[in-house]
Structure 1
Amino acid sequence: MNKVAFIGGGNMASAIIGGMIASGWAPSRITVVDPNTDQRDCLSVQHGVATTGDVADATASDVIVLAVKPQVIAAVAKQMDVDLSDKLILSIAAGVTIASLEGLFGPVAIARTMPNTPALFGLGATGLYVNDRASEAQRVAAKGIIEAFGICVTVAREDLLDAVTAVSGSGPAYYFLMIEEMIRAGTALGLPSEDAKALTLQTALGAATMATKGDAPEVLRARVTSPNGTTHAAIVSMREDGFGDVVAKAMTACRDRAVELGKAER
């Protein structure tokens, strides 16, 4: 895939572009379409990419990334009234199904993704589903673009993107809530709030880093949980209060809501 065009130049698009360039993409291969002149100028200065206000210009690229709000996509499609049969449409719009996109853009190769907000820092965890019309080269291109801002997991069925939403799409908020509660509890135990915050944030970072180094989470947990020790007391308390059930119930509710929203979009 030689050229990529982004429809929409917001924060997520900028993060993806930054990751692509950092991973070796030449800015000359990237174009951004955005109606806002100031935003175009900012992207041009920041990334050195070409910018335009004309959606039709995006059709000169091999991959067209839909980085706009779902309600804007129909208007975008009307401005791209050309043969797109040799293009790959890569959508990062939440809840917009492959069927809906095919209805707007025709029978073309489409990749639907579910990124999360840490992608803004190059730490994204993204689910990807590609329709049957995509070639192997297009599949590789879609995954390569996503991996420029984090990890990519390809799912076998489109409906599994709802499970991705429950795990990683909404997942950062679960950790933020845990961080909030740990800071609150640490303060209640007598620590100054800033100290509780600093200790909690560094602990979260350290634990996440350790969990990415190869050993399974249950192994890491066992290593720091001495029998009848302090950590053991905390883990027992969490389990007695149904911590695992709380997490599973919350993630199922998230998945179910994603399904509902997808049906409403259709």
Structure 2
Amino acid sequence: MNILMIGCGKMGGAMLRRWCDASNHSFTVIDPAKPDLPQKVRVEADLSELGGEIFDMIIVAIKPQMIEAVLPDYKNSLKNGGVVVSIAAGFALRNFSKILGDVPLVRVMPNLPALIGLGATGLYANTLCSSGQKKTVEDLMEAVGRAFWVSSEDELDKVTAISGSGPGYVFQIIESYIAAAEKLGFKPDEARALVLQTILGATEMANRSDEAISALRESVTSKNGTTEAGLNALNANGALDTLMRETTDAAYKRAIELQ
């Protein structure tokens, strides 16, 4: 496919580099900053430099607040039957339709680990998308991690609250965990290495296992042992469960507000 990307910041650039390696698509980027990208990517500063060329797919990778001002200029850059893909958070499909009319549209919610090919990306398509178009978008997103289709934009907002914002929650937990290790007397570099390897090992173990997470937790928790003592403090009276529900609920409500 002949694909145009509008804007190419850190996330868009990282995804594009992986797409270049994983596909035979032709990519053109419009970005005034003219970012440094693989040689096979055509990079232009302005739409006027395309000479009226039209594309099979347009990927919208600019900030949501810029879309209403920028996107109308690209309305004639999409082939008949082409598909528009948005990685701009919080800009609903109905708002794209107001600008572009009735065209196939896919909203994509990637998360930060897509930068290293370990993303968790939510996908939602309108009813005008063909199965082939959905498969093409899915393949692109699988190149940067795992792709998860949802059945509504509301579910995509929930994906935002879980995986989109999720790395921030995990980084906060890691930060607090490292601080606790330092409080016990470990040097900062020792605390960081111990905590990160512990989380990496536990996560990978869970990823490779078919057992319930609760069973894995129980397997390391001896009665009256150190892990049980720690867990009793960590989740006393379900405090951690409540905190995680409140965290994801707050993010979900904010995702709705931003639309």
TM-score (norm 2): 0.92
Q: Distance in 2 between matches of 1:77 and 1:182?
A: 44
Unpaired segments ≥5 residues, structure 2:
none
Q: Are 2:212 and 1:221 aligned?
A: no
Q: Distance in 2 between matches of 1:173 and 1:83?
A: 36
Q: Per the alignment, do residues 125 and 81 of structure 1 end up closer, same or farther by CA in structure 2, a change over 3 Å counting?
A: closer
Q: Distance in 2 between matches of 1:250 and 1:152?
A: 23
Number of the residue aligned with 2:2: 3
How much does 1:83 deviate? 7.2
Number of the residue aligned with 1:36: 33
Q: Distance in 2 between matches of 1:182 and 1:6?
A: 39
- The answer to whether the 8 A contact 2:54-2:77 is kept is no
Choose which of 102, 107, 111 in structure 1 pairs with 2:106. Answer: 111
How much does 1:144 deviate? 1.1
How much does 1:77 deviate? 2.1
SS in 1 for 2:209: coil
Give the share of equivalent positions with the same residue, in percent: 39
Aligned partner letter, 1:70: P
Number of the residue aligned with 2:241: 244
Equivalent pairs counted in the alignment come to: 254
- More displaced 10-residue stretch of structure 1: 62-71 or 238-247: 238-247
Choose which of 45, 57, 74 in structure 1 pairs with 2:68. Answer: 74
Q: Per the alignment, do residues 59 and 156 of structure 1 end up closer, same or farther by CA in structure 2, a change over 3 Å counting?
A: farther
- The answer to whether the 8 A contact 1:59-1:80 is kept is no
Number of the residue aligned with 1:193: 188
Number of the residue aligned with 2:59: 65
Q: Distance in 2 between matches of 1:59 and 1:128?
A: 27
Aligned partner letter, 1:9: C
TM-score (norm 1): 0.90
Written as runs of structure 1 = structure 2, the 5 A alignment for 1:197-208 is 197-208=192-203
Q: Per the alignment, do residues 155 and 52 of structure 1 end up closer, same or farther by CA in structure 2, a change over 3 Å counting?
A: same
SS in 2 for 1:212: helix
Q: CA RMSD in A?
A: 1.7
- The answer to whether the 8 A contact 1:109-1:134 is kept is yes
- More displaced 10-residue stretch of structure 1: 180-189 or 213-222: 213-222
